[in-house]
């Protein structure tokens, strides 16, 4: 008997860019996919999962979120971004501490695991506590500290220090499941000096950069009047952009900015539900994809979405592009699926490790149960079934880094009940503090 081996048999595999005929077996050894074949000897494996009636996919990848914001779900609805942040969210965030962010991140991890996301990219505060939650939950994450200096030099030093400390203490944690990026919040909250220093540090430490850009028309007006340039023109001029930059939102883009994004090979995280809920606008995703720009998907935080269900986010992305272009052929289910898998991996610089079902890649795998009313009839197109018919509640099994985090819809590592109770208490305290 080999320890740490899992055999998944009778699986219908749906993986970007590969067509698997018939049912397959997958052998997981430690944290890697070791073999894929119609028939694998099951005599020496330590665990067998029969995936009959289930669709097997790579674990989903959420490239922009703020996990601990689950604590603020439903506390500030029906607002514009500007009022949401200034009048509600930032005042509430002033009362946060590491314990609150830890429990908020655990609550978020439960939601991610249950809805099939195995990797998320986060920007927030008290990130060592978020890392602790990630480590314990078994999920994979790219973490960045949200740096905001509003031009204050002391604040700038402090923010950079926070992000570098996070890098030093958490990079590679959890068997390499945690990576650390730099997280300047946006061009309207991070000064030019901070952005320039972030670029220098990204080059020195080989760290990626996670930033919000061009989310609202107000941002375009404000940056244009302050800098005389649109946001991406300004970021290009100061030498900030590069293939290691992940820009969230990117709703309001001129043709020149699309050229700038392409030239610098910037990666885009599209956040349709948040953009719709805050009435920010519709990102020109199909135009970006036509220009061979890498576009992945993110939920944003649970306070502007209001959930972390990536399957729902993918469906929304597809339908929103169809209606905004009046072309039903844009963002097909196959293209949309790749945004939640291999494009997500590419966005985070992890395409050699995750994002598809291939021998040698990390065993980040989910199973979706088709024995459910909304999954019948069995479609001839698996991607159609997943993108247009399914939702996170259809996820049956979640495996990350070769470890089973949920099986038959039951969490195996985290204690859901205890987390809900602690999260409710934290939310009560935070509401009382307002
Ligand atoms: C890290 C900080 O970012 C804030 N935030 C969350 N969602 C958004 C968004 O859509 N645009 C801009 N800023 C956002 C979060 O509350 C933290 O303050
Ligand atoms: Zn955000």
Cis before 117 (ω within 30): no
Rg (CA), the chain: 21
Q: Whose atoms come closest to the Cα of 126: which ligand?
A: 1
State how far the alpha carbon of 199 is from the alpha carbons of 182, 206, 245, in Å. Answer: 9, 10, 9
Supply the pLDDT for residue 398.
99
Query: Distance between CA atoms of 112 and 284, rounded to whole angstroms?
Result: 27
Residue 3: per-residue pLDDT = 74
Mean pLDDT over 355-365 rounds to 98
pLDDT for 338 equals 98
Mean predicted confidence (pLDDT) in 165-176: 98
Please give the span between the terminal C-alpha atoms of the chain, in angstroms, as a whole number.
Answer: 57
CB atoms within 10 A of CB 293: 17
251-268 pLDDT, tens digit each? 999 999 999 999 999 999
pLDDT > 70: what percent of the chain? 100
CB of 89 within 6 A of ligand 1: the answer is: yes
Report whether residue 304 contacts ligand 1, using a CB cutoff of 6 Å: yes
Question: Do residues 116 and 386 touch, judged by C-beta distance below 8 A?
Answer: no
d(CA 316, CA 369): 21
Residue 199 CA, ligand 2 centroid: distance in Å: 20
pLDDT the model gives residue 1? 60
**Residue 183 CA: which ligand is closest?**
1
For ligand 1, pick from 66, 162, 215 the residue to mutate: most ligand atoms within 8 Å of CB: 66
- Which ligand has the shortest distance to the CA of 273? 1
Was 212 annotated as part of a binding site? yes
* Top mutation candidate among 212, 231, 273 for ligand 1, by most atoms within 8 Å of CB: 212
Higher pLDDT, 434 or 336: 336
Backbone angles phi, psi at 374, to 5 degrees: -75, 0
153 annotated ligand-binding residue = no
Atom of ligand 1 nearest to the CA of 215: 11
Ligand 1 atom 12, closest CA: 212
236 lines ligand 1 (CB under 6 A): no
Between β-strands 178-184 and 140-147, what pairing exists: parallel, antiparallel or unpaired? Answer: parallel
Would you say residue 13 has pLDDT above 80?
A: yes
Mutation test residue for ligand 1: of 105, 127, 143, 146, the one with most atoms within 8 Å of CB: 146
Query: 371: which 2 tokens?
Result: 């024995």
Beta-strand relationship, 32-37 and 24-29: antiparallel
CA–CA dist 122, 421 (Å, integer): 24
SS3 of residue 137 by DSSP: helix
Residue 380's pLDDT band, with cuts at 50, 70 and 90, is: confident
Q: Which residues pair with 399 in a beta bridge?
A: 365, 404
Q: Whose CA is nearest to atom 16 of ligand 1?
A: 89
What integer pLDDT is reported at residue 2 of this predicted model? 63
User: What CATH number belongs to 60-347?
Assistant: 3.20.20.140
Complex-level ipTM beyond the 0.90 threshold: yes
Confirm whether residue 300 is marked as ligand binding.
Answer: yes
| Distance of alpha carbon 334 from alpha carbon 418, whole angstroms | 38
Residue showing tokens 């490790």:
353
Q: Say if CB 382 and CB 14 are below 8 A apart.
A: yes
Mean pLDDT of 80-94: 98
Q: Residue 198 contacts by C-beta under 8 Å, 6 or more apart in sequence?
A: 147, 160, 182, 184, 190, 209, 240
Give me 190's structure tokens: 């991070």
Question: DSSP characters for 310-374?
Answer: HHHHHHHHHHHHHHHHT-TTSS-HHHHHHHHTHHHHHHTT-TTTSSS--TTSB--EEEEE--SGG
Residue 64 marked ligand-binding: yes
Q: Is the CB of 185 under 6 A from ligand 1?
A: yes
- What is the H or E stretch that residue 324 is in? helix 310-325
Residue nearest to atom 18 of ligand 1 (CA): 90
Asked if 275 and 281 count as a contact pair (C-beta separation under 8 A), the reply is yes
2.40.50.100, 2.30.40.10, 3.40.50.10490, 3.20.20.100: CATH of 5-58+362-411: 2.30.40.10
How does 159-182 read in b/e, with b if 16+ C-beta sit within 10 Å? bbebbbebbeebbebbeebbbbbb
| Beta strand spans in 2-116 (E) | 5-13, 24-29, 32-37, 47-50, 54-58, 60-65
* Residue 22 pLDDT exceeds 90: no
Q: Say how many Å lie between the CA of residue 314 and the centre of ligand 2.
A: 17
Is residue 235 within 8 A of residue 190, CB to CB? The reply is no
Is 219 within 8 Å of 252 (Cβ atoms)?
yes
- What is the distance in A from the centroid of ligand 1 to the CA of 434? 19
300 touches ligand 1 (CB under 6 Å): yes
Q: Counting atoms of ligand 1 from 1, which one is nearest the CA of 66?
A: 6
Q: Indicate if the pLDDT at residue 379 is higher than 80.
A: no
Q: Evaluate whether 139 touches 119 at the Cβ level (below 8 Å).
A: yes
210 annotated to bind ligand = no
**Residue 123 Cα, ligand 1 centroid: separation in angstroms?**
8
- Mean per-residue pLDDT over the chain, rounded: 97
Any ligand 1 atom below 6 A from CB of 215: yes
Q: Which helix (H) or strand (E) holds 245?
A: strand 245-249
6 has which bridge partners? 28, 47
Asked if 260 contacts 233 with a C-beta cutoff of 8 angstroms, the reply is: yes
Place of tokens 């941002």: 219
Residue 181 region by backbone torsions, left for phi larger than 0, else alpha for psi between -120 and 50, else beta = beta
CA atoms within 13 A on the CB side of 114: 16
Q: Where along the chain do its domains lie?
A: 5-58+362-411, 60-347
Ligand 1 centroid–CA 144 distance in Å is 12
């Amino acid at each position: 008997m080999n320890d740490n081996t899992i055999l998944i048999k009778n699986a219908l595999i749906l993986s970007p860019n590969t067509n698997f005929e018939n049912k397959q077996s997958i052998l997981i050894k430690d944290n890697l996919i070791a073999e894929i074949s119609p028939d694998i000897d099951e005599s020496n494996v330590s665990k067998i999962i029969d995936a009959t009636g289930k669709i097997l996919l790579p674990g989903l990848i959420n490239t922009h979120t703020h996990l601990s914001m689950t604590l603020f779900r439903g506390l500030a609805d029906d607002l514009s971004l500007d009022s949401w942040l200034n009048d509600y969210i930032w005042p509430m965030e002033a009362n946060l501490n590491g314990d609150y962010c830890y429990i908020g991140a655990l609550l978020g991890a439960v939601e991610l695991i249950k809805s099939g996301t195995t990797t998320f990219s986060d920007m927030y505060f008290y990130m060592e506590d978020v890392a602790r939650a990630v480590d314990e939950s078994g999920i994979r994450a790219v973490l960045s500290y949200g740096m905001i200096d509003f031009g204050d030099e002391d604040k700038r030093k402090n923010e950079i220090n926070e992000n570098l400390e996070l890098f030093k203490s958490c990079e590679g944690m959890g068997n390499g499941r945690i990576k650390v990026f730099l997280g300047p919040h946006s061009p309207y909250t991070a000064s030019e000096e901070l952005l320039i220093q972030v670029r220098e540090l990204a080059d020195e430490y080989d760290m990626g950069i996670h930033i919000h850009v061009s989310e609202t028309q107000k941002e375009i007006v404000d940056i244009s009047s302050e800098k005389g340039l649109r946001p991406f023109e300004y970021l290009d001029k100061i030498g900030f952009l590069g293939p290691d930059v992940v820009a969230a939102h990117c709703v309001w883009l001129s043709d020149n900015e699309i050229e700038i994004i392409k030239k610098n090979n910037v990666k885009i995280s599209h956040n349709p539900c948040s953009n719709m809920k805050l009435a920010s606008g519709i990102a020109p995703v199909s135009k970006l994809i036509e220009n061979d720009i890498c576009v992945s998907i993110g939920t944003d935080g649970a306070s502007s979405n209001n959930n972390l269900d990536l399957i729902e986010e993918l469906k929304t992305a597809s339908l929103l592009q169809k209606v905004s272009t009046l072309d039903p052929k844009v963002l097909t289910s196959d293209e949309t699926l790749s945004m939640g898998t291999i494009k997500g991996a590419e966005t985070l610089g992890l395409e050699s490790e995750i994002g598809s079902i291939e021998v040698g890649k990390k065993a980040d795998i989910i199973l979706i149960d088709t024995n459910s009313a909304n999954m019948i009839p069995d479609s001839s197109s698996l991607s159609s079934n997943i993108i247009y018919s399914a939702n996170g509640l259809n996820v049956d099994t979640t495996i990350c880094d070769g470890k089973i985090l949920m099986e038959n819809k039951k969490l195996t590592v985290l204690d859901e009940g205890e987390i809900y109770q602690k999260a409710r208490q934290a939310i009560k305290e935070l509401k009382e503090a307002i």
